[in-house]
Structure 1
Amino acid sequence: MIKPFDLMDVLGRILLDDAPKTPGSEEAIRTAAAALQFIDATGQVADFEDYVRNLEAYAPPLAIARFDTRQDADAWLMAQKRPPLFASILVADEYFSVFFNPTSGWKGLGRQPRLEFYLQEMADQRLTPSGLSFATKTEAEAWMNQQPTPPQQVVIDIAGAPYLAAYHHRIDYRVLYPLPAPTPPSQET
């Protein structure tokens, strides 16, 4: 469990005892401490802990919502009085960024290649297959839907092809992503 006050204590010791010499270090440490105080003061410690666990598990990037169509996502965004300044959502299994300018009131969505980067990283890590193998995608989906709490990410085989069975736990969404071919090793010597 992350304890913001313990982390702030560490940052304070670095600031006072180690006196960072890199330009901007003091401001960076003070800003990090203020971010921890904000997380604590706004009751978001559990969400922050969840975010850190998500990173440590190499789980799919967090999304705050999912929509079947871009029109549904646009309607949701326009209905928000105060949407997040920046967040990720899924639209038909693709990541989009939510943008909001509180000064002008402008709201918008932009497609982001976050999923492609994540899947390529998973392929490049050459994760050990789980041993789970299915003849069809339908069989794999049935397996995922039977899991009370599926793994956040696990490599499975569907008809001889590697897939990432992913669980977006914040929005309770299960999905199968085909993994791309790993990036070939560099030929530079």
Structure 2
Amino acid sequence: MPIAELFLGAFLQVLLERLASRELLNFARREGIDKLLKKWEGMLISINLVLDDAEDGQLAGNVGVKLWLENLRNLAYDIEDLLDEFTTKSAKDESKAKPRASKACLLLPSCGFILNPCAFMFDCKMRSKIEEMDGRLKNLITQKDILKLREANGNQSADHRQHKPLPTTSVPEYFVSRKDEKGEILELLTRGGR
């Protein structure tokens, strides 16, 4: 697998771990997007399972697969940015809620967030980004199916690797040493200085 796809696979694993983190899940529940993020997690798992096949398609020169991988890479970066925004907003919400915890706010936990116009604008902006990411993710899943990318399971991967030529580091039989040429060059250099 080329370095880029190896990196992309590792990056998707990090995104999956972040989507499953307790802090993000708590924030998602408060914002009412927990089901959506769970759906994203499933979609990213499905995409992650076809990376080997996508890499083979790209190596075979399939332009559609190459474009799909580029779109996936861009979306993964954008999702990471969105998760960073969630983390930042969650931390801000928690820091604002703690000092202002009045009896009314304890009874109505969302009262501090609804009355703040900046928070409302942020929520609208965030929801717009969420909808955009969701659409792009659904599009990647549709394209994955159109491109007929197959999910690799343990047996397929092992069989598939057997048919792939392994990179070789052995020296071919026709390899000619440059030892004699090196000696001649050194002799010429040492004679030339005299």
TM-score (norm 2): 0.20
Q: Higher helix share goes to which structure?
A: 2
TM-score (norm 1): 0.20
Question: RCO higher in 1 or 2 (8 Å CA, sep ≥ 6)?
Answer: 2
